[in-house]
């Protein structure tokens, strides 16, 4: 079952909206997500990305980038909190997380990110190393500790924030078992880019739906379920770099606060997965739309 985590711009807090098992989320049962002691203030997060379990403990995880350039990892989603956190790196201000999934084909999660500081190396692949519990170890925090001791070029030119204002890595969309990427262009169209083991492919389809003006919000949705089924990926978004209101549903802003449900347990048994919403991330969520038209970017 997939839950929704939202970072709300009015108070800067993270909230979880429980999944109903039907592709929907119960906005009337939201709870504030309690981060571990001394964890960074979520109000400083500019991007949050949920992932399936990458550490081997069977629990979903989350990555975040803050406004000061910090790169954070939150491990072990319990249903209302995370078990632990770690700062992986600093100086990530010019970078955006595209996704954390196995790209290289060794079943170990890899990190794909956008580097806006290098116009000729827009998309970068950092390969993960196997951890002791069957997931990835701490190799994703630095190129030198990653598989191969370096980062790899995955996309060269035309991937800057100016050229691709919004970008989102998604699970496989065409059945080849390799994650793919959705991104917008300067023409307000959304494009699908098929992934490969070593490099991103060209645009394989186009959605001419005015993606730069659809509603006034920017929402990002994170991981697919670890059982292989994709979570729903419907959301709205705004122009890159502007903090804007988040509306998951009409009643969200006025939904009961966590204190309105004191009897609800803080953790729930069973495996649960995460989708993520953020009001300030440069990522692009996918949504149901008419069939893609063949075209180029």
Rounded Cα distance, 136 and 76, in Å = 14
Among 80-89, 168-177, 239-248, the range scoring the smallest mean pLDDT is 239-248
- Distances from the Cα of 132 to the Cα of 36, 72, 129, angstroms: 23, 21, 10
Rounded Cα distance, 86 and 178, in Å = 28
Rounded Cα distance, 98 and 77, in Å = 21
- Distances from the Cα of 296 to the Cα of 92, 191, 203, 235, angstroms: 30, 8, 6, 24
User: Residue 136: its pLDDT value, please?
Assistant: 87
Higher pLDDT, 260 or 297: 297
Model pLDDT for residues 130-151, shown as the tens digit of each residue = 988 778 887 899 999 999 999 9
User: Residue 273: its pLDDT value, please?
Assistant: 55
Rounded Cα distance, 179 and 52, in Å = 13
Per the listing, tokens 């978004």 go with: 237
Rounded Cα distance, 97 and 179, in Å = 14
Over residues 248-259, the mean pLDDT reads 28
The model's pTM is: 0.74
Distance separating the N- and C-terminal Cα atoms of the chain = 36
Rounded Cα distance, 62 and 76, in Å = 9
Rounded Cα distance, 41 and 238, in Å = 23
Model pLDDT for residues 226-237, shown as the tens digit of each residue = 222 232 233 333
Mean pLDDT across the chain: 76
Q: Is the pLDDT of residue 248 over 60?
A: no
Higher pLDDT, 84 or 273: 84
Rounded Cα distance, 273 and 134, in Å = 18
pLDDT confidence tier of residue 1, bands split at 50, 70 and 90: confident
The SS3 call for residue 175 is coil
Among 149-158, 200-209, 261-270, the range scoring the smallest mean pLDDT is 261-270
User: Residue 212: its pLDDT value, please?
Assistant: 66
């Amino acid at each position: 079952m997939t839950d929704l985590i939202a970072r709300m711009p009015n108070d800067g807090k993270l909230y979880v909206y429980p999944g109903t098992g039907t592709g929907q989320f119960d906005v009337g049962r939201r709870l504030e997500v309690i981060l571990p002691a001394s964890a960074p203030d979520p109000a400083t997060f500019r991007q949050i990305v949920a992932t399936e379990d990458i550490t081997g403990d069977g629990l979903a995880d989350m990555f975040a980038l803050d406004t000061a350039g910090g790169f954070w990892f939150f491990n072990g989603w319990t249903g209302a909190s995370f078990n632990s956190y770690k700062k992986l790196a600093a100086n990530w201000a010019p970078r955006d997380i595209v996704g954390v999934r196995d790209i290289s084909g060794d079943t170990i999660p890899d990190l794909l990110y956008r580097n806006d500081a290098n116009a000729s190396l827009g998309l970068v692949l950092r390969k993960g190393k196997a951890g002791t519990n069957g997931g990835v170890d701490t190799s994703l925090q630095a190129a030198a500790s990653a598989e191969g001791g370096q980062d790899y070029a995955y996309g060269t030119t035309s991937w800057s924030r100016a050229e691709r204002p919004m970008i989102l890595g998604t699970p496989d969309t065409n059945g080849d078992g390799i994650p793919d990427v959705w991104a917008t262009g300067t023409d307000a169209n959304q494009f699908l880019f098929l992934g490969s083991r070593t490099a991103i492919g060209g645009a394989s389809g186009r959605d001419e739906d005015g993606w730069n003006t659809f509603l006034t919000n920017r929402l990002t949705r994170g991981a697919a379920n670890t059982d292989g089924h994709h979570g729903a990926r419907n959301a709205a978004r705004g122009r890159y770099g502007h903090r804007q209101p988040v509306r998951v549903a009409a009643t969200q802003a006025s939904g009961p606060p966590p204190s309105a449900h004191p009897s609800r347990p803080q953790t729930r048994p069973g495996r649960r997965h995460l989708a993520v919403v953020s009001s300030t991330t440069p990522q692009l969520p996918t949504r149901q739309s008419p069939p893609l038209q063949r075209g180029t970017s």
